[in-house]
Structure 1
Amino acid sequence: MHVFEKTITVTEDDIDDLNHVNNVRYVQWVQDIAKDHWLAYATKDILETYSWFLVNHYIEYKSPALLGDQLLLKTYVPKVAGVSTIRHVEITNVKTQQLIVSSKAKWCLMDSKTQRPTRIPPEIGELFN
């Protein structure tokens, strides 16, 4: 299983009225790392032929993140089958190693021309494993 990672630092724009990262920002980060992972490995032909559609999303908030915290975002897709996958994202505080957010999202592969679900071909499955 391939794990894709990036590190970010919490900025003033990420903070809400309670002086911690706004929950909406976590959702954005989960989407951003999924997209970054996809764009880092998909070929031009794959990008022109397919796109992903979010079916559902579950996110669990474990601990707050604060201004200046450095966060490690990790994403992975443990299984690829049929037309959909479950993408996992974990956000951890780099300094404390504490899990901040855990997320699972079901994504469906779409044919860009027909805008219909399509089976995940082996070349896409190999991008994740």
Structure 2
Amino acid sequence: MIMKDGIYSIIFISNEDSCGEGILIKNGNMITGGDIASVYQGVLSEDEDIILHVHRYNYEIPSVLNIEQDYQLVIPKKVLSNDNNLTLHCHVRGNEKLFVDVYAKFIESLIIKNTGMPQIYLK
């Protein structure tokens, strides 16, 4: 997966006729993000599909996949991308019939890099 480090705005549409919006941050090989009902975390890999762990924290908002507990999304290692946009087709681990299409747009570079020690880069 080719993604530059930074902050992305995401829109996701499920096959359950539901959609949502959130934010995704890539820093090195780590990805993390969130929306109004869930947070997600994963580790990028060049060689394998990516497993994104989705933790639900707001049960008052329905999941776009109608899953009310934590779950994992499988992100294929080959995705459509260019410098600023990314399109992903992800499915729930163990159930390929539940899937979500994710559209990510690059917003901003990171000013703090994950290098073990906090560093601030000013523009």
| TM-score relative to the length of structure 2 | 0.35
Structure number with greater CO (CA < 8 Å, separation at least 6) is 1
Structure (1 or 2) with the larger CA radius of gyration: 1
Q: From the two aligned structures, give the one with the greater strand fraction.
A: 2
Per residue, is there more helix in 1 or in 2?
A: 1
